[in-house]
Amino acid sequence: MFPKSIRVGLLSLSSVLRALCGVAAGSSKASLSAHFAKWGNLAELNAVGSLVVSYITSPLATWVALISLLIVHITTNYLAVRAVSMTSLNRQRANIVFSTLFDENRVLTAKQASKQERVFERDGVLRWKASSDTLGFCQIGVPFKDVIDHVSSSSPAERTEATIVAILRAFEQEEYILWFDPARKRGVIGLKTNASPTSQLKAWSHALLAANSLKIKESNTRGPLVREQVGTDSVLMLGILQDTLAEHSKDFDARIESLRDAGWDIDTPSLQTKPGRKFDVIRKQE
Domain residue extents for the chain: 1-49, 55-84, 91-279
- Cβ-based neighbours of 215, under 8 Å, separated by 6 or more: 135
Write down the pLDDT at residue 97: 96
- Cβ-based neighbours of 32, under 8 Å, separated by 6 or more: 84
Write down the pLDDT at residue 234: 79
Write down the pLDDT at residue 77: 77
pLDDT tier for residue 29 given thresholds of 50, 70 and 90? low
Mean pLDDT of 164-171: 92
Does the structure show a pLDDT above 60 at 226?
Answer: no
Pick from 104, 135, 132: which is nearest to 118 by CA? Answer: 132
Q: Which residue has the higher pLDDT, 38 or 116?
A: 116
Write down the pLDDT at residue 32: 59
What mean pLDDT value characterizes the chain? 82
3-state secondary structure of 128: coil
Tell how far CA 236 is from the center of its chain: 26
Write down the pLDDT at residue 232: 52
How many whole angstroms separate alpha carbon 86 and alpha carbon 67? 31
Mean pLDDT of 4-21: 75
Write down the pLDDT at residue 153: 84
Classify strands 136-140 and 176-181 as parallel, antiparallel or unpaired: unpaired
Instruction: Express as a percent the part of the chain with pLDDT over 90.
Output: 43
pTM: 0.76
- Cβ-based neighbours of 151, under 8 Å, separated by 6 or more: 160, 163, 164, 167, 179, 234
40-92 pLDDT tens trace: 554 554 554 344 456 667 778 778 887 888 888 788 877 777 777 788 999 99
Does the structure show a pLDDT above 50 at 36?
Answer: yes
Does the structure show a pLDDT above 70 at 285?
Answer: no
Write down the pLDDT at residue 104: 92
Write down the pLDDT at residue 24: 63
How many whole angstroms separate alpha carbon 30 and alpha carbon 183? 40
Write down the pLDDT at residue 60: 80
103-121 pLDDT tens trace: 999 999 999 998 898 888 8
Mean pLDDT of 226-236: 58
3-state secondary structure of 77: helix
Distance set, CA 56 to CA 14, 19, 64, 65, 158 (Å):
21, 26, 10, 8, 74
